Amino acid sequence: MALTFYWYPNCGTCKKAKKWFDDHNIDYTSIHIVEETPTKEELLELISKSDLPAKKFFNTSGKKYRELNIKEKIMDASVEEMAGILASDGMLIKRPIVTDGSKVTVGFKEETFQENWL
């Protein structure tokens, strides 16, 4: 099972997730979420496969999120609009995002990774 691992190398949570994959000998392809930000279409697909609300894909603790007042912008936004905002800047996206093509996880919780990726 080949996993796609969207991450930001300076992110502590991403480093923990990467270490977890490496410790469990799980193969993955890593994609730098800022240098290769997923497109709106890719994000819509990830959102639909995640069973999570689109708002969960936002990095709410990020500086850009606060600077751009994203909380206000997405209050009444459609999933399409939210995906467009996310695609505009990789720093707005909560990370890491992991997918095997059918399942998607956002963020890193060891229990969630064990359930989904072992």
Any idea where the domains of the chain sit in the sequence?
Answer: 3-117
- pLDDT category at 88 given cuts 50, 70, 90 is very high
Distance separating alpha carbons of residues 116 and 72, to the nearest angstrom: 33
Q: What percent of the chain has pLDDT over 70?
A: 99
- pLDDT category at 2 given cuts 50, 70, 90 is confident
Distances (CA, A) of 10 to 7, 47, 63, 96, 116: 9, 24, 14, 11, 24
The pLDDT value recorded for residue 1 is 58
Model confidence pLDDT, tens digit, residues 91-104: 999 999 999 999 99
Neighbouring C-beta atoms of residue 53, cutoff 10 Å: 10
User: Is the CATH number of domain 3-117 3.40.30.10?
Assistant: yes
* pTM for this model (two decimals): 0.93
Question: Is residue 31 packed enough to be buried (19+ CB in 10 Å), middle (13-18) or exposed (0-12)?
Answer: middle
> Which amino acid, 100?
D
Instruction: Taking residues 37-59, report their average pLDDT.
Output: 97
Distance separating alpha carbons of residues 55 and 40, to the nearest angstrom: 14
Please state the length of the chain.
118
